[in-house]
Amino acid sequence: MNTETKVGTFVIVCLLLLGVTVYFVGNEQWGNHLMPYRTYLRYAGGIGPGTQVLFGGIEVGRVKSVRAWNQDPTRIEILLEVKEGTPLNEKSVAKLGSVTLMSSPALSITTGSSEAPRLKAGQVIASQETVSIDDMTRKLSGIADNAGELITQVQGELKGISARADTLLANLNDVTGPTNRRQIAEVLQRVNALVAKQSPKIDQITDQVVLVSQDADSAIKKIGPLVDHTDAAVANVNRTIDQLREPIRQDLAQLQSTMEQAKSLIASLETIVRSNDDNIHETIDNLRVATENLDQLTDQVKQRPWSLVRIRQPKDRKVP
């Protein structure tokens, strides 16, 4: 076997080993330990099968397929597969992103929250829309269109402000003219003369205020013992109240017990009255009948008082 054959055989064997290694490593990393998930976006520019799936900026899987969702044609259904054990949770959010400005788009998933429940295989990952380049272009064009009107409006307002500033400066010139300056000087002279004239009275008032403050200090010193006596009196009152508190409490307890006994007595009386209700009604009826009989007897006595003495009624006298 010549040298070329040996070199060719060696290269072939190395390629076979490299292919087997890549196959087993890829199968170990992406084939047997991948979990399927879904998410939905309204704009999926640049995302296709094989696009990177990033979890917190770390590559954890690939996009399997991208298609229009038949249930809602305004949304794009994205099927993806990530490594088993990736802590996707209900607070994780999928959105369109990229590692760098120059790199290809990727599907970025936030880490969510450690307290949120973990997502199971096949569940939907919450999504968040990103601003596309077309939307940014439209907004910038709208801003550019409105910029001309804004500049025109600002120029008009600046002209009005400059006119008002000129008017203000003219008014200030009028106020600070020679006539007004002379009047202000005269006013200041009068104020100085008034202060010079009233300064002795002001000194006298100041002295009186000092005397009043001294008298107030002496009065406060005299009030000090009175305050001490008041504190002592308040302390005595507190002690007296403390001493009377327990007897008053006992009296209140006895009063409460007496009221409870009275309530029980009233309840007993009510029970007796209710049990003898029929007898009381019968007694009242008898008293009413007796009263009626007594009224009849009284009427008879009034009409025939002689019946109290004679049993029989005398015969009527004959007319002669």
pLDDT at 179 over 80: no
- Angle, CA of 66, 68 and 73, to the nearest 5°: 155
Q: What single DSSP character describes residue 129?
A: -
**Type of residue at 251:** D
pLDDT at 310 over 60: no
Please list the residues that pair with 68 across neighbouring strands. Answer: 76
What's residue 28's pLDDT?
55
Q: Which pLDDT band holds residue 305 (cuts at 50, 70, 90)?
A: low
| 91 burial type by CB count under 10 A (0-12 exposed, 13-18 middle, 19+ buried) | middle
Q: Which residues contact 99 (CB under 8 A, 6 or more apart)?
A: 52, 54, 57, 106
Q: Which pLDDT band holds residue 252 (cuts at 50, 70, 90)?
A: confident
Q: Which pLDDT band holds residue 23 (cuts at 50, 70, 90)?
A: low
Tens-place pLDDT, residues 90-136: 999 999 887 676 678 889 999 999 899 999 988 999 998 876 666 66
Average confidence (pLDDT) over 32-41 = 86
What's residue 24's pLDDT?
65
Using a CB cutoff of 8 Å and minimum separation of 24, what contacts does 203-212 make?
Answer: none
pLDDT higher for 227 or 62?
62
Sign of CA dihedral 258, 260, 262, 268: negative
Average confidence (pLDDT) over 227-249 = 78
Q: Which pLDDT band holds residue 178 (cuts at 50, 70, 90)?
A: confident
Average confidence (pLDDT) over 42-60 = 88
Q: What single DSSP character describes residue 89?
A: B
What's residue 80's pLDDT?
93
What's residue 124's pLDDT?
92
| 107 burial type by CB count under 10 A (0-12 exposed, 13-18 middle, 19+ buried) | buried
Average confidence (pLDDT) over 170-199 = 77
pTM given for the model: 0.37
pLDDT at 15 over 90: no
Phi, psi at 42, each rounded to 5°: -85, -20
- pLDDT averaged over every residue in the chain: 79
User: Lowest-pLDDT range, 29-33, 56-60, 213-217, 289-293?
Assistant: 29-33
Average confidence (pLDDT) over 268-295 = 79
Judge contact between 42 and 129, C-beta under 8 A.
Answer: yes
Judge contact between 109 and 55, C-beta under 8 A.
Answer: yes
What's residue 1's pLDDT?
58
Could you give the C-alpha distances from 2 to 8, 45, 152, 286, in angstroms and in order?
Answer: 10, 56, 88, 153
What's residue 77's pLDDT?
93
**Which of 164-173, 185-194, 276-285 has the highest mean predicted lDDT (pLDDT)?**
185-194
Judge contact between 78 and 125, C-beta under 8 A.
Answer: no
pLDDT higher for 28 or 52?
52
> Treating both helix axes as pointing N-terminal to C-terminal, what angle do 178-275 and 277-303 enclose, rounded to 10 degrees?
80
Tens-place pLDDT, residues 191-232: 888 878 777 877 788 888 888 877 777 777 777 777 677 777
What's residue 94's pLDDT?
92
